[in-house]
Amino acid sequence: MKTKHLLFLVMCLLQGASAFAATTFTSTTVEGVEVTYTIIEGVEPWVEVKGTSKGYGNYDPAISTATEGHVTIPETVYYIDHSYIVTRIGKYAFKGCSKITSVSIPSHVSTIDTYAFGSCSSLESTGLYNNVTTIEGSAYRGCTSLTGELIIPNSVTTIGSNAFEGCTGITSVSLPSSLESLPYRIFANCSGLTSVTVPTSVTSIGSGAFEKCTNLTTVNLPNTITSIGSSAFSYCRSLKSIVLPTKITKIDTGTFSQCSALESIVIPYGVTSISGFQNCSSLESITIPSTVTNFAINTFDGCSALKKVIVEAPAAWCNITFGESNSSPLYYAKHMYDMQGNEITSLTIPEGITTINYKVFWGWEGLLEVSIPGTVTSIGSSAFNGCKGLTSVTIPSTVTTIGGYAFSGCKGLTSVTIPSSVNTLGGHAFSGCSGLTSVSMPNSTRNITTINTHAFNGCSSLTSFDIPEGVTSTGEYAFSGCSNLTSISIPNTFTNFGYNSFSDCI
């Protein structure tokens, strides 16, 4: 009895599976090519040319991969005395059919589905016409024999990711005015592409959209675009200039990385965050609006040709935060200019600023004078690192923290007074200030208990130093390399010299 019940259950399951299985059949084209069609359930009498699933995401194409030359898909096909209209070139329909050169697509087809023509490396034309509305992801990916101008009909409203990736023969693209977005890697690795004009209907460009379009020289972007994705133009090594849309709010990660021919860029007003000019080795100038508040890690790494940072409002620079490593364009440029082309050599930090941010003026060799307001309580690490032209600075009595490397490498600095309000003096704070002849730390500076590691390392012009009351120790190499230091005053509170505190001193 149990055996009969089990057999009955299996039969029911098999009948149910067959009821939901799509009906497929074959028909022969005028060229004698056998094509597999699948009836589109629920919308009979429609069929699609579709690959056959082999399981685990693998498909066989709808025709033999040995098929050569032209293939004509008819408007209608017949199966068991019924006429069916071909309305879709389905998934994997011709994928890997590397010997076909062209396909006649019926006029009722509205969708070119995923990988429909993927890796058809001999395909010379898309076969697209004005009834097609949707081109799905990777539809023409790897069609390396598509050459010249790619014309996408105005009827197309949606294009999927990777749709034309690796179509290396395309030299220009005519995009439909109905298109709203350019998706992920749509034209990535189209190394023959030289120019593209994006229509005003487009509002977004996806990540990697034009990545590794190594011959792209001309890009026209409308102001309707509000976002450009990460790596969108990375490795576009022939791109010398580009005008960015006025509505974008950030330069995403790697957007223009490896654009080694890019010579200048103007960041539009409204952009708040910048990340993505790594190894733009020909970049000489960049214009920064007052709206920018963040440079991400490594943003300008490898931009060794930078000469000019042009700013809309110098005071606004104080509000920018910086990531690690070469996040500031000043690291390479060394000089800052106003919008009229005049070099900026002095800066008044606005009242109300409480923290001078990490690396905010790092490498600004053209800075000669700076005025710090009484609202500042903290000078961040590397804030003035490498400001070789800075000759004097007055640290207000409101400052409690001077971060590590804060004034490191300020070779033009001759004297400094560290006020009694300071309770933290970071390592390397004044290291490499080779012009520094006088450092004043009033005895009332009792909040500092340690002259930190390398704090005055390399201050080779320093001849004397009075360690204030309250200090108990010096860190490692605190005065190392102070080769002209002949006098030092040690307070009663002092108990310990750190390792090599005075190495290479007279």
For 44-65, the DSSP string reads TTEEEE-PEEEETTEEE-SS-T
pLDDT at 364 over 90: yes
Instruction: Give the pLDDT confidence score for residue 272 in this predicted structure.
Output: 97
For residue 316, give the 3-state DSSP assignment: helix
Confirm if 404 and 427 have CB atoms less than 8 A apart. Answer: yes
Q: Which of 52, 45, 120 is nearest to 77 (CA)?
A: 45
Segment 12-33 shows an average pLDDT of 70
Task: Render pLDDT for 240-286 as a digit per residue (tens, 0 to 9).
Answer: 999 999 999 999 999 999 999 999 999 999 999 999 899 999 999 99
Rounded Cα distance, 265 and 306, in Å: 11
Q: Which of 436, 499, 443, 430 is nearest to 463 (CA)?
A: 436
The pLDDT-based confidence of 446 (bands split at 50, 70, 90) is low
Torsion of CA 339, 341, 345, 346, to 10 degrees: -30
Q: What is the DSSP letter of 319?
A: G
Rounded Cα distance, 382 and 378, in Å: 12
Rounded Cα distance, 77 and 26, in Å: 9
The pLDDT-based confidence of 6 (bands split at 50, 70, 90) is very low
pLDDT at 366 over 70: yes
CA 80 to chain centre: 56
pLDDT at 2 over 60: no
Q: What is the DSSP letter of 392?
A: B
Q: Which of 315, 361, 308 is nearest to 336 (CA)?
A: 308
Across 236-363, the runs of DSSP E, i.e. the strands, are: 250-251, 264-266, 273-274, 285-288, 294-295, 308-311, 321-322, 336-337, 343-344, 346-348, 355-356
Confirm if 132 and 112 have CB atoms less than 8 A apart. Answer: yes
Instruction: Give the pLDDT confidence score for residue 17 in this predicted structure.
Output: 38
The sign of the CA dihedral 434, 435, 438, 439 is negative
Q: What percent of the chain has pLDDT over 70?
A: 95
Segment 300-324 shows an average pLDDT of 94
Residue written as token pair 């390479």: 332
Segment 384-412 shows an average pLDDT of 95
Instruction: Give the pLDDT confidence score for residue 445 in this predicted structure.
Output: 52
Task: Render pLDDT for 118-151 as a digit per residue (tens, 0 to 9).
Answer: 999 999 999 998 899 999 999 999 999 999 999 9
CATH superfamily, domain 345-506, is Ribonuclease Inhibitor (3.80.10.10)
Confirm if 118 and 92 have CB atoms less than 8 A apart. Answer: yes
Domain locations in the chain as residue ranges: 345-506
Say whether the peptide bond before residue 245 is cis (omega within 30 degrees of 0): no
Torsion of CA 238, 241, 242, 248, to 10 degrees: 110
